[in-house]
Structure 1
């Protein structure tokens, strides 16, 4: 019997993101239903621990099966990875685009961001205690100053998660890269 949620993708957009725009819209245009959490308004106002607990509960209640698909972008990936630290290895497939994996600073833009628990993922991975999803891959632009390719690659090396650095890509990997990637990943 087919799993009733196999055509539904759990999506966590970047900070302040919506489910029905951008990547979420691209998934809907490909015939998928999109569930997840918009990282704005009520959800954004929750304490970080509650955000993580909400994502964890969503996954356990509705997406804890081998056919499940999860796609996360930017800060949404940070939320998923932190939820994963509190769960057994996720049984489905996970695609992380421009994942935030810790703090970052950009001197040129005079911008920095230190998310809650900025070293937790690295610390767990270095200690060999990060529970890796069954099938997961990360994609980051080589010029992404928010996801920092070296940090994404380091997390990949420590956990065994494939980390692809996109030549010339920034934080927004662009439709020319993401579109074909989705088409390939969604049928796998």
Structure 2
């Protein structure tokens, strides 16, 4: 958590279990992800830490990094170690779902650059765009729609709502207007 790689190495060299879990089944790698401790993550991963270890919620280090806005850490573990940024938690949410929910535009840009799946629906039928609308993030909605296939505009969640219907239902006029313009653009090209 505090990014002390030399202390982590000392503990590992003196018998510490690099994959030890706390009560929530989180490992030291999960904790390194909270603060974006890349140097400590390197020590852990180079000494046998399980990159894809999941806690009781199915969160892996990629999910934790996104939840705490640690875009650099996410990029590091994906590019250097091949972490699966498309991994799903217990509710069927990927890193992109979490980035949309948290409203972190930089993380969204990174995940879109890495070609993250924008139309994947979680257990509630929500796509990342649904979550961006739920949070009321105009910037994230705009990023997702501009980068997407427009298919995500018409997908319905388990309640039967499209992202536009959610925005209207929540009284988010700015989001509704943006989504309507993208939907009209989609219809013009059909």
TM-score bucket of the superposed structures, by smaller chain: 0.3 to 0.5
Structure number with bigger Rg: 2
TM-score by length of 1: 0.33
Give 1 or 2: higher helix fraction. 2
Give 1 or 2: higher strand fraction. 1
TM-score by length of 2: 0.32
